[in-house]
Structure 1
Amino acid sequence: MSTAVTLTCYALLVGAVVPYLLVRARWAHQAPTVAVLAWLGLIVSFVVSAALALNHVVLAEQQHVHSGLLGLLSACGVVAEARAGDMTPAFSDVAALLGPAIIVLLPLGWLLRTARRSRRARQRQLDMLALVGSPAAAYDATIVEHDAPAVYCLPGRACRVVVTRGALDVLSGPQLRAVLAHERAHIEGRHHLFLLVTEAFGRAFPGLPLARHARQQTPLLLEMAADDHALRFHAREELATAMCEVGPGPAPQAAMGAGGPGALIRLRRILTPQARPRRATWVGVVVASVAAPLLPLLFTCGHAV
């Protein structure tokens, strides 16, 4: 039972305490890509630790007999007693796995559902662009005859960057190239996949602080990461001006607009840059993000053996 208590405390720490610390961390906006990795690490850590904790609560007694796969699972406390030479799981073993399986499969199910909805929405937009849009090789984008200035991208396999006629009218050449670089950063970085993960996790565990904050913070951090990519090749003033011009522009469902969430925070960040966190800081965060999901597994197996 001590193992179950430890794993439960770890899940509560990851799901209810650490998110508030990460939201307030100053380095997060200085290294947004690392911060996104940290949120993903917390999500995986919570699922692993919660599933293992529930499993240990269900299993009243454990016999640590190493016998093939079931023996290894028994030693780690995943199934009940594994008898030597017995490779057929008992009904009680399968029943004990139902609870942990639900914790794992619930976010996975929402992930598949969210991905399916997003893919359908993108396909509707692509079908519409085939009718009203015209390709522009000079911009490597699709032009839509619309007066409202807007620039957005449709990620995925059939990715597109869309620019309205209104945006072409108000943006200068350097400003347009800067905002296009921002949108291509979303596509090249597969940022929509990170949004799908946090959206699915938020729907699976709606009352969890980790789910709520990850769902809120990840879109902003991804926009900052795209800003940083654009700033490698374009002036800060150009990108900031372009954001002001096209920020209010509409972006359809399943698209990532140039304005994006937290426009004022991003503008302040672009125009008043801060030093990146020290190498030791972001390396430590990366290592912790990768190690955090492994700790419950290492503790469970190490404690059992």
Structure 2
Amino acid sequence: MIASIVLVTYAVLVGFVVPRFLARAKWPLRAPGTAIALWQALTVSFVVCFALAWYHAIAPGRHLHGLLGSAEQWISGAPERTTADGLSAEGVGLLIPIALTAVWPAAWFIQVTASAARRRRRHTELLDLVGRTEPALGAVIVDHDTPAAYCLPGRPSRVVLTSGAVRCLSPAQVQAILAHERAHLTGRHHLLSAASEAFARAYPVVPLARAARESTAELLEMVCDDRALRSACARALADAMCEVAAGSTPKAALGAGGSAVLTRLRRLLRPSAPLRPITCFAILLLGAVAAALPYFISCGPVIG
């Protein structure tokens, strides 16, 4: 019971307290990739913590490592053997709450990714009818006066520009926006977006879920901005973002206009020094510890 209380307290801390401070922090603008990793680690930590708290509420006083030993024996075909804690293979059934808690967000992830894939397929079929491939740009051009740019992950992936964007953007701006979109594709950002969306749907009342979804969407755009700057100047990318910001992006697509355009523009035109590698490493280590800590609480002496 003590372990269950400790785990619930930790889940409240991770799910309700930490997001308020992290969402207001300024350092993620200087290291968006590191910030995304931390948000993902916190979501994993919350799910693991919730699952283990449920387990200890059902089976107070039982060490998790003993239960896992029983499960290993059962899988190996020795159900009559017991662990040092006296747990029989029948105790493997206590893993059900852990499994259900893990399956819940996983099921949402499957639903979100499957739904997005269907929408992308339909949109791809439409592009095959109304769009034209421009080999020089490596993009599909759609006749529309409103400047817009977005990408469709999948096989094959597509980068899409409207004819309005091609007309109003300079060659340098076009290349900058294309580099941004290709960064989405090479980074497989649709999977990270789906993970944060699935967690938000699985736990809609948890502040961590809402904050992680919103922050991940913004930070992914910043990651692509940084990648685009490797081959384009900041002014060209900023001007291109302003031009395509009003353009709509289909569901399941990732657009260069994206979210938090004003914040991204300030970040491009008034850049801050990136975080030092040692600081990024410390943040990533903190995220790893946050994700692993629930397990050590369960297997430690706190259970008694």
Runs of 4+ in 1 over 4 A off after TM superposition: 63-68, 81-84
CA pair 170-7 structure 1, distance change in 2 beyond 3 A: same
1:170 to 162, 168, 171: 168
Q: In the alignment, residue 105 of structure 1 is paired with which amino acid? A: V
Within 2, Cα distance between the matches of 1:245 and 1:63?
Answer: 59
Within 2, Cα distance between the matches of 1:233 and 1:83?
Answer: 59
**Residue 236 of structure 2 is aligned to residue 262 of structure 1:** no
Query: How many angstroms does 1:21 deviate by?
Result: 1.4
Within 2, Cα distance between the matches of 1:124 and 1:66?
Answer: 50
Within 1, Cα distance between the matches of 2:95 and 2:69?
Answer: 15
Q: Which residue of 2 aligns with 1:43?
A: 43
2:115 to 107, 114, 117: 117
Within 2, Cα distance between the matches of 1:49 and 1:28?
Answer: 25
Within 2, Cα distance between the matches of 1:177 and 1:65?
Answer: 54
Q: In the alignment, residue 145 of structure 1 is paired with which amino acid? A: D
Within 2, Cα distance between the matches of 1:145 and 1:34?
Answer: 38
Within 2, Cα distance between the matches of 1:64 and 1:261?
Answer: 42
Q: Which residue of 1 aligns with 2:78?
A: none
How large is the Cα RMSD of the aligned pairs? 2.4
Q: In the alignment, residue 295 of structure 1 is paired with which amino acid? A: L
Q: In the alignment, residue 233 of structure 2 is paired with which amino acid? A: A
CA pair 62-139 structure 1, distance change in 2 beyond 3 A: same
Q: Which residue of 2 aligns with 1:9?
A: 9
Q: Which residue of 1 aligns with 2:299?
A: 301
TM-score (norm 1): 0.90
Alignment of 1:52-131 (within 5 A): 52-62=52-62, 69-70=69-70, 82=82, 89-90=89-90, 93-94=92-93, 96-131=94-129
The answer to whether the 8 Å contact 1:67/1:82 transfers is: no
The answer to whether the 8 Å contact 1:146/1:166 transfers is: yes
Query: How many angstroms does 1:169 deviate by?
Result: 0.5
Within 2, Cα distance between the matches of 1:65 and 1:261?
Answer: 44
Report sequence identity in percent: 43
Within 1, Cα distance between the matches of 2:64 and 2:266?
Answer: 58
CA pair 224-64 structure 1, distance change in 2 beyond 3 A: closer
Within 2, Cα distance between the matches of 1:229 and 1:283?
Answer: 20
The DSSP-based 3-state class of the residue aligned with 2:272 is coil
Within 1, Cα distance between the matches of 2:7 and 2:30?
Answer: 32
CA pair 166-293 structure 1, distance change in 2 beyond 3 A: same
The answer to whether the 8 Å contact 2:149/2:160 transfers is: yes
The DSSP-based 3-state class of the residue aligned with 2:300 is helix
Q: Which residue of 2 aligns with 1:201?
A: 199
The DSSP-based 3-state class of the residue aligned with 1:152 is strand
Q: In the alignment, residue 110 of structure 2 is paired with which amino acid? A: L
Deviates more, 1:258-267 or 1:1-10: 1-10
The answer to whether the 8 Å contact 2:63/2:299 transfers is: no
Q: Which residue of 2 aligns with 1:76?
A: none
The answer to whether the 8 Å contact 2:48/2:291 transfers is: yes
The DSSP-based 3-state class of the residue aligned with 1:161 is strand
The answer to whether the 8 Å contact 1:65/1:71 transfers is: no
The answer to whether the 8 Å contact 1:68/1:87 transfers is: no
CA pair 22-64 structure 1, distance change in 2 beyond 3 A: closer
Which consecutive residues of structure 2, in runs of 5 or more, have no partner in the other structure? 74-80
CA pair 66-12 structure 1, distance change in 2 beyond 3 A: closer
CA pair 209-82 structure 1, distance change in 2 beyond 3 A: farther
CA pair 240-18 structure 1, distance change in 2 beyond 3 A: same
Within 1, Cα distance between the matches of 2:10 and 2:257?
Answer: 37
TM-score (norm 2): 0.91
Within 1, Cα distance between the matches of 2:30 and 2:21?
Answer: 15
Query: How many angstroms does 1:152 deviate by?
Result: 0.6
Q: In the alignment, residue 146 of structure 1 is paired with which amino acid? A: H
The answer to whether the 8 Å contact 2:64/2:298 transfers is: no
Within 1, Cα distance between the matches of 2:139 and 2:122?
Answer: 18
Alignment of 1:17-28 (within 5 A): 17-28=17-28
**Residue 294 of structure 2 is aligned to residue 291 of structure 1:** no
Which consecutive residues of structure 1, in runs of 5 or more, have no partner in the other structure? 74-80
